[in-house]
Amino acid sequence: MNFTLKIWRQKDAQSKGAFKEYKVENVSSDTSFLEMLDILNNDLVHKGEEPVAFDHDCREGICGMCSLHIDGHAHGPSQAVTTCQIYMRQFKDGATITIEPWRSAAFPVIKDLVVNRSAYDQILQAGGFVSVRTNSVPDGNAIPIPKADADESMDAAACVGCGACAATCKNGSAMLFVAARVSSLAKLPQGRVEGARRAKAMVAKMDELGFGNCTNTGACQAECPKQISIAHIARLNREFLAAKLKD
């Protein structure tokens, strides 16, 4: 298969970027999207040009490192997968594919397609944890948790922190990410204890970092590689409002 790639190139955070066109030829349909970029990069190296920088690591859809806005979709045209799980057979032979970095004020570009997502770390540092010390905990089975609650907590915990939600949201809102963590812990008795404090602290940090206001378009859940539901956003809203009203 052959493709024309329109890729965003940007030297560093300070420089202005622009699209550049590349051709990749004779790519097998079983090649993954990132392997296709590997092939392009290997060609570029041989030509003495700087390869395209892009984030990736586990290539199994779990580490959340890969990003890329491909033809208008965060993580490409398929549903429920990360960019590393996209295969070239999903594109038309001869297609022109536009590849952009995440675009969000809170995710500044570092180079080419690589962005800085440390804002997500900062939000979690604000309260995305249960304050327990190592070793001062009860037995794992001391508190039974209804299976449905544990399952729902797990649904939310599936978030890989890739940033697709904020990147795809027209408002640059990180609500799905924040909600996933708040909701996951809120469904467990262990997390309930400091639920109110957590919701307030994480929302405050999210606002402080310049993420936008959620308008419930649902684009985040549509593009989320882990299909996290906006029902968790509703729960975050509940948690937050209840906490505020108690203040």
Site for other proteins in 177-196 (CB under 8 A): 184-185, 187-188, 190-191
**133 is a contact residue toward other proteins (CB under 8 A):** yes
Compute the least distance from the CB of residue 4 to other proteins, in Å.
14
Compute the least distance from the CB of residue 84 to other proteins, in Å.
9
Nearer to other proteins, 94 or 139 (CB): 139
Q: Is 70 exposed, middle or buried (0-12, 13-18, 19+ CB in 10 A)?
A: buried
Q: Report how far residue 6's alpha carbon sits from residue 92's, in angstroms, rounded to the nearest whole number.
A: 15
Q: What pairing do the DSSP bridges indicate for beta strands 73-74 and 69-70? A: antiparallel
User: How many residues in the shown chain lie near other proteins by CB under 8 A?
Assistant: 134
In the numeric block, the tokens 């949201």 are attached to 169
**225 is a contact residue toward other proteins (CB under 8 A):** no
**215 is a contact residue toward other proteins (CB under 8 A):** yes
Give 193-196 contacts, CB < 8 A, sequence gap 24+: 193/130, 194/127, 194/130, 194/131, 195/239, 195/243, 196/239, 196/242, 196/243, 196/246
Candidates 3, 5, 68, 100; binder of other proteins (CB under 8 A) is 100
**92 is a contact residue toward other proteins (CB under 8 A):** no
Compute the least distance from the CB of residue 93 to other proteins, in Å.
16
